[in-house]
Structure 1
Amino acid sequence: MFRAKIFVLLRRPPNLATVFNRQCSSTNENNDVRVRFAPSPTGFVHLGGLRTALFNYLFARKHQGKFILRIEDTDRERIVPGSLESILDVLRWSNIQPDEGPEELGGSYGPYIQSKRTELYHEMIEKLLTTSDSVYRCFCTTKRLELLRREALKNRETPRYDNRCRSLTNEEIQKNLSENVPFTVRLKLQPGPMTINDLIYGSVTYDLSRIEGDPILMKSDGLPTYHFANVVDDYHMSITHILRGVEWLVSTPKHLMLYDAFGWPRPKYAHLPLIVNRDGSKLSKRHDHIRLSTYRNQGYYPEVIINYLTQLGGGFGQLNTANCDKIYSMDELVDAFDLKSVNQNNCKIDLEKIHQLNRLYMKNLIENDPNRIRNDLIEILQKNQEKFQTSLQFDNDYFDKILQWNLERIYSINDLIQEDFLFLWSQPKLTWLNDSSSFDSKQQIQQTLHSTINLLQQIEDFNDKDIILKQLRKLNENELSMKFNLYMKLLRLSLTNLTKGPPVAESIMLLGKNRTIQYLRNAIDYVQSNK
C-alpha cells in the first residue's frame, strides 16, 4: 500500500529533502541561470524535442548558465528500452552538450533520472499531507472512476474527477488508512482564474477548476505523476527558467499551485510555439519527417538540422531575416538568441527547406572542409559494401569530382548510394539483355561496344563531356548502323544497367577512360555469356 511505502521510506537515512535543500541554497545562491531538457525515454527523439533542447542550451550559454539533462521516466509502462542511450547519442550528435545529467555527465544535483528519486517525492508528498491543506488522499476505486468517465462521455461531456474525496472527514480518512485501502494523493485546484506571466506569450489566464477535476500527484503504486515530479525536481535542481512546448502552457497553473503550496519561489516560464505539418495538422509519431533518426540515417548534417530549427518560430533577430540560406555556427546562434523575439504562431515544417539547407552545407564543406565530406562519403560506401559487385578503391580527386557533379542532383551524400548512382562506385550486375528487343542482334551489340572502346582509347581529354558526345555522334554516323538514341540506350545499359539516368557523355566523363572501357568490356562478356 502507498501509505506503508511512505512510512518505511521516511525512516531511511539520510533525509533526501534536507540534502537537496542544502544543495539548492549553497550552489545557486547567486540565482545563476539553470535550465533543463527533461525528455521521457518513451521512444525516438523528434524535431520538437530537439528544438526544446536547443533553445534551453542556447539560453544557458547566452546567460553563462547551466544546461541540465533530466530523464522523466515515472511512466514505467511506456518506457522503451535503449531510449536513454538514444537521447544521449542525439545530443552528442547535435553538439548540444549538457553540463549535468545522468550516466557519465554527472553533477551535484543528481540523481538525474526520476525513477531514482522516488524517496524525495515521497518525502515531499508527506510534507504536503501533514503541513498543507492543498492536497488530500483520494480512496476512489478504479471502478468508480471508470463509471464517472463513461457517464461523462454518455452526456457528451469532458471526463473529470468530481472531487468527492475532498470532503472526507478525518474519521473517514483514518478508517480507510487503518483498513489499508489504496489511495492516491490529489491537488486541490484553486477556484478562480490564475494568470501566468509567460516570457513568450505574455499574460495568459486559466481557471482550471472550471474545466478539470483535482489532478493526481501521487499514484497508488507510490510513483509520482509528471506534474508533481516535475515541480519537485525543478525546485530541488534550482531550475530558474523553464523553456518547453506550448502544449504545457495549460498545465502551468497546476505547477504554480504546487510551488505556492510548498512556499517555494516560482521559476520563469517560456513556452515555445507548436511545430505542425505544412498543412497545419498536428505532428504524429507515425510521421517519419519528425524523427531525428530519419534525417540522420539519410546523411543530413547536424549543423543543418540545428540551423533549420532556428528558423521555426523566430528567436534569432536579424539571423531570421538576413540570410536564411546561411549555416550559422553554434556561437553565432548563442549570440543572436533572444526569447523576446520568439513568435507565438505555430511553426510549419518545410521539408524542401531542410533539403536545400543540407545541399548548401555540402557545398560549403566541399569548398572549406573537403576532408570531412569525403570521409563521410567513404564511411557510407563502406557501410553499404554489399550493394557493390567489386571492392571500392578511389582517390580523392575522384571523390571530389563526383561530389561536385552531384551537388545540384542530390540532397544528401546518402543519395549517392541510391540505384541511379551505384554505377559511379561499381558496375551494377547487368540484367538488361532480357529486354534487348530494340537491338538487331547480339553480334550488333558486341560490335558496337568494341567500336566504342576503340574510339574512347583515342580520346585524350575526358574532362569535357561535349567533346565526348561529339566523338560518339561522329562514330555513330560513320561506322554504326543504329539510330543515335538507340546507341545511347545501349551505352547507358552497358554502363549503368539503367534505362534512364544521367546523360551518357557525362557518365563517361565521370567514370574516366579506364573505368568506362572496363565497364564496356564487362558488358561484352555479359552478352557473350548469355547465348
Structure 2
Amino acid sequence: MSKPIRVRYAPSPTGLLHIGNARTALFNYLYARHHDGTFIIRIEDTDRERHVEDGERSQLENLRWLGIDWDESPETHDQYRQSERLAIYQQYVDELLAKGLAYKSYVTKEELEAERERQEQAGETPRYINEYLGMSDEEKAAYVAEREAAGIVPTVRLAVNEAGIYKWTDMVKGDIAIEGSNVGGDWVIQKADGYPTYNFAVVIDDHLMEISHVIRGDDHIANTPKQLMVYEALGWEAPEFGHMTLIINSETGKKLSKRDTNTLQFIEDYRKKGYLPEAVFNFIALLGWNPGGEEEIFSREDFIKLFDENRLSKSPAAFDQKKMDWMSGEYIKAADLETIVALCTPYLEAAGRLTDKSDKLIALYKPQLSSADEIVALTDLFFTDFPALGEAEAAFMAGETVPTVLASFKEKIAELADADFTPETISAQVKAVQKDTGVKGKNLFMPIRIAVSGQMHGPELPDTIYLLGKEKALAHIEQVLTSL
C-alpha cells in the first residue's frame, strides 16, 4: 500500500439503515481495520427532497448497535456533512466555469422532459443535447439574457469529453472501461438550488478527505465514469474503486427488493425483534465475501484478521433469511443465560407474561430461539388454553397404548406432593410408567408430550411439565383422555 488507507461510508439520511448499506459500511470498516487504516463516516445530505428528520442519528445508532466503530465523523470533525460544505463545492464549480470545463445551463425541466419523450418516441437513447449547439457568441448572449430575464435559475453542467475513455482496475471486477459518449451528455454538477449533485460533491469530498479506496455496491459502476471526469477536469488523482456485487433474494434469484416482506432488510428490524448484533454482523460479513473453508461463525476480531479484499465475490450475494435465523440461533445457544434473559424479558413484559418462573421459561426455550421476540409465541402453552391438536398429533394419539400410558402418568404425578413436583421426580415418574406398562420409546414419551403441550416436538419434557405446573398438566392430560 503506497499511501495511507482511508475509506469511508457516506450514507444519505433518507431513511433507515438497509442491509445493503450496512454491508458497505461493514466491508469498509473491515478493510480499514485489517490494514490499520482510517474509517470515516461522512453524511451526504444534499438531497433535500428525500431528507428524513433523524435519519443521521438512525444511521449512526444502528451502525453502533452492529458493533462498527469509526475514526472520523460529523461527531468529531467539522464539515463532515455535505450541507456544511456548500462554499467548498462552489469554489470548484467556479474553477471549472472559469476554465470553460463547465457551463451554466438554462434548459427547464419541462423542456428536458419534452426532449426525452421525443427521443424515446424516435427510438433514440435519452441524452441531454447541448442547448448552445450551433449558436454564435451573440446568439448565446441573447439566449442567456432572455432566460435570465424570464427568471430561470441555471444549473451548472460539466462539459463531457465524449471521445474520452474512462477506465479503472476495479478491486472486485477487474478492468472496466466506459466511453464518455455513454454517460448521457453533459451532466449537472450543481442544481438550481445551489446544491451540488452527488457525482460532483463525492469527488470533492473524497479528494479533500484523502480517501484512498472507494468500496461500494456495483449499482455505482455507472457513476464512476462521471466521477472520473471530475477528477480529470480538476487534475486530481482518483482513488481505487471496488464495486461489490448485488445482494439477491435466495428464493427468487432477483435483486433484493424492499417489497420482499419475508426478508428483514433493515437493521432496525433486527434490533426490534431481538437478534444479537454479533449474529447480524457475522451474517452480513459473509454476503459477498468469504474467508475460505467451511466455517461460518466468526467473531468481529476474526473478521478483521481474516479480511482479504481479494476474496470479495464476483457473483451476486444470496440473502437467505433462514440462514440468518440459523446463525442467530447458534449465537443465542452460545450466549450466557443472563444475556438471553435480559434480551427476552422486555418481550415477555410487553405481553404481560412476566412471572417468577420467567428466567426458567427463557432457559427452557433458549435452544429454540433465533430472535428474542419468539419467546412470546413459544411460551403460549403456559399462558393460554390447551391448543387443539393438529392432524399429525391427533393421528398419533389414536395409538392403541396411548390411553394406558396417559392414565398411568396422570395417576403418578397426581400423587406427587407439590414440594416434590420437580423435573427430576417427573422424569422418574415417566420411567415408572414405562416399567408399569411395558411401553417405551416414542410410544411412551410422545403421548405424554402431546397430552401436556399439544405438540409433537419441544424442549425437555420434564422441564416443560414442571414449568406448566401440576394442576395445569393434570387438566391437559384429563382433557385429552376424555377425547380419546
Band of TM-score, shorter chain: 0.7 to 0.9
SS in 1 for 2:469: helix
Give the aligned length.
Answer: 453
Letter in 2 for 1:280: G
Shift of 1:378: 3.2
Residue in 2 that maps onto 1:356: 326
Residue in 1 that maps onto 2:463: 510
1:462 corresponds, among 393, 415, 423, to 423
Residue in 2 that maps onto 1:282: 255
Letter in 2 for 1:324: E
The answer on 1:138 being equivalent to 2:111 is no
RMSD: 3.7
Q: TM-score, normalised by structure 1?
A: 0.75
The answer on 1:309 being equivalent to 2:284 is yes
Partners of 2:248 and 2:256 within 8 A in 1: yes
2:342 corresponds, among 378, 381, 395, to 378
Shift of 1:211: 5.3
Shift of 1:356: 2.1
Q: TM-score, normalised by structure 2?
A: 0.82
What is the rounded CA distance, in whole Å, between the counterparts of 2:7 and 2:215 in structure 1?
7
Q: Structure 1 pair 401/309, CA: closer, same or farther in 2 (3 Å)?
A: closer
Residue in 2 that maps onto 1:6: none
Q: Deviations over 1:39-93 (max 9, x none)?
A: 1111121221111101111111122221111111111111222221110111111
Q: Structure 1 pair 231/46, CA: closer, same or farther in 2 (3 Å)?
A: same
The answer on 1:422 being equivalent to 2:422 is no
Shift of 1:486: 12
Shift of 1:100: 1.1
SS in 1 for 2:242: strand
Shift of 1:363: 2.6
What is the rounded CA distance, in whole Å, between the counterparts of 1:465 and 1:175 in structure 2?
94
Letter in 1 for 2:307: F
What is the rounded CA distance, in whole Å, between the counterparts of 1:467 and 1:521 in structure 2?
17
What is the rounded CA distance, in whole Å, between the counterparts of 1:197 and 1:514 in structure 2?
63
Partners of 1:456 and 1:513 within 8 A in 2: no
What is the rounded CA distance, in whole Å, between the counterparts of 1:490 and 1:326 in structure 2?
35
What is the rounded CA distance, in whole Å, between the counterparts of 1:56 and 1:487 in structure 2?
55
Alignment of 1:386-397 (within 5 A): 386-388=350-352, 391-394=354-357
Letter in 2 for 1:393: D
The answer on 1:272 being equivalent to 2:236 is no
Residue in 1 that maps onto 2:81: 113
Q: Deviations over 1:511-530 (max 9, x none)?
A: 46475125358889x9xxxx
Letter in 1 for 2:82: Q
The answer on 1:345 being equivalent to 2:308 is no
Q: Deviations over 1:368-415 (max 9, x none)?
A: xx1xx52333342234324235x422486x367415xx52x3323332
What is the rounded CA distance, in whole Å, between the counterparts of 2:339 and 2:305 in structure 1?
31
What is the rounded CA distance, in whole Å, between the counterparts of 1:429 and 1:136 in structure 2?
72
Alignment of 1:139-158 (within 5 A): 139-158=106-125
Q: Structure 1 pair 471/388, CA: closer, same or farther in 2 (3 Å)?
A: farther
What is the rounded CA distance, in whole Å, between the counterparts of 2:361 and 2:33 in structure 1?
38
The answer on 1:185 being equivalent to 2:156 is yes
Shift of 1:353: 2.1
Alignment of 1:248-267 (within 5 A): 248-267=220-239
Residue in 2 that maps onto 1:16: none
Q: Structure 1 pair 57/514, CA: closer, same or farther in 2 (3 Å)?
A: closer
2:171 corresponds, among 195, 199, 203, to 199
Q: Structure 1 pair 507/342, CA: closer, same or farther in 2 (3 Å)?
A: closer
Unaligned runs of 5+ in 1: 1-29, 439-446, 478-482, 527-531
What is the rounded CA distance, in whole Å, between the counterparts of 1:400 and 1:385 in structure 2?
13
Partners of 2:166 and 2:228 within 8 A in 1: no
Q: Structure 1 pair 221/486, CA: closer, same or farther in 2 (3 Å)?
A: closer
Residue in 2 that maps onto 1:441: none
Q: Structure 1 pair 165/41, CA: closer, same or farther in 2 (3 Å)?
A: farther
Residue in 2 that maps onto 1:443: none
What is the rounded CA distance, in whole Å, between the counterparts of 1:198 and 1:271 in structure 2?
7
What is the rounded CA distance, in whole Å, between the counterparts of 1:190 and 1:184 in structure 2?
19
What is the rounded CA distance, in whole Å, between the counterparts of 1:46 and 1:514 in structure 2?
40
Partners of 1:139 and 1:165 within 8 A in 2: no
The answer on 1:293 being equivalent to 2:252 is no
Q: Deviations over 1:138-176 (max 9, x none)?
A: 111121111012112323444221222366535246525
Partners of 2:362 and 2:375 within 8 A in 1: no
SS in 2 for 1:212: coil
Q: Structure 1 pair 54/470, CA: closer, same or farther in 2 (3 Å)?
A: same
Shift of 1:297: 2.6
Partners of 2:412 and 2:429 within 8 A in 1: no
Residue in 2 that maps onto 1:402: 364
SS in 1 for 2:206: helix
Q: Deviations over 1:468-523 (max 9, x none)?
A: 4345678999xxxxx9999859953xxx6xx43646xx665114647512535888
Q: Structure 1 pair 456/188, CA: closer, same or farther in 2 (3 Å)?
A: farther
Residue in 2 that maps onto 1:34: 6
Partners of 2:156 and 2:188 within 8 A in 1: yes
Percent of matched pairs sharing the same residue: 29
Letter in 2 for 1:334: I
The answer on 1:70 being equivalent to 2:42 is yes
Letter in 1 for 2:95: K
SS in 1 for 2:322: helix
SS in 2 for 1:270: strand
What is the rounded CA distance, in whole Å, between the counterparts of 1:346 and 1:147 in structure 2?
37
Q: Structure 1 pair 331/461, CA: closer, same or farther in 2 (3 Å)?
A: closer
1:412 corresponds, among 361, 368, 371, to 371
Alignment of 1:468-479 (within 5 A): 468-471=429-432
What is the rounded CA distance, in whole Å, between the counterparts of 1:275 and 1:150 in structure 2?
33
Structure 1: 4+ residue segments shifted above 6 A: 447-450, 458-461, 473-477, 483-487, 521-524
Shift of 1:227: 0.7
What is the rounded CA distance, in whole Å, between the counterparts of 2:427 and 2:173 in structure 1?
60
